[in-house]
């Protein structure tokens, strides 16, 4: 997986589109498409800043960035749609179901049980939609 680099001559928007496709796949593309009729400029900002600038920086690989993002969205407790997109992104960049469950459970210490419970239920939905539970994997 090519990650965290800037190609010569690549614009922030192009870099953001590439990063979004690599990290979030279809889920991210749906978010951008959903913004088209209400705030197309915001869709561009979403591509340029978080994905074109931040996710594309050196220093952390995409796996580490998704660990941080899943933890933060879980701790917020009010971002279930975004959390689901990033749980899927975590799977896309190599996190296991068990690792995602552990990340979310860790947030009970810092954000409380309600936030962790909501995060676990979000993970359960993503895992169920992906494919049926496999033996030995967390739900």
Query: pLDDT digit of tens for each residue in the chain (139 aa)?
Result: 445 555 667 899 999 999 999 998 888 888 889 998 999 999 999 999 999 999 999 999 999 999 999 999 999 999 999 999 999 999 999 999 999 999 999 999 999 999 999 999 999 999 999 876 554 455 4
Cβ pair 115, 122 in contact under 8 A? no
Of 55, 130, 50, 71, the C-alpha closest to 97 is: 130
Q: In Å, how far are 7, 13, 123, 129, 137 from 98, measured between CA atoms?
A: 34, 34, 10, 16, 6
Instruction: Provide the 10 A C-beta neighbour count for residue 84.
Output: 18
């Amino acid at each position: 997986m090519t990650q965290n680099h800037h190609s010569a001559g690549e614009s922030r928007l192009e870099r953001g589109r590439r990063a979004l496709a690599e990290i979030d796949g279809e889920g991210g593309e749906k978010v951008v498409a959903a913004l088209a009729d209400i705030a197309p400029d915001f869709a561009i900002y979403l591509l340029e800043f978080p994905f074109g600038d931040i996710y594309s920086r050196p220093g952390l690989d995409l796996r580490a960035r998704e660990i941080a993002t899943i933890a933060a969205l879980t701790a917020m407790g009010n971002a279930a749609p975004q959390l689901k997109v990033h749980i899927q992104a975590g799977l896309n960049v190599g996190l296991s179901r068990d690792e995602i469950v552990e990340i979310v459970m860790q947030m009970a210490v810092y954000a409380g049980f309600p936030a962790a419970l909501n995060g676990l239920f979000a993970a359960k939905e993503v895992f169920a939609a992906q494919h049926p539970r496999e033996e030995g994997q967390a739900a």
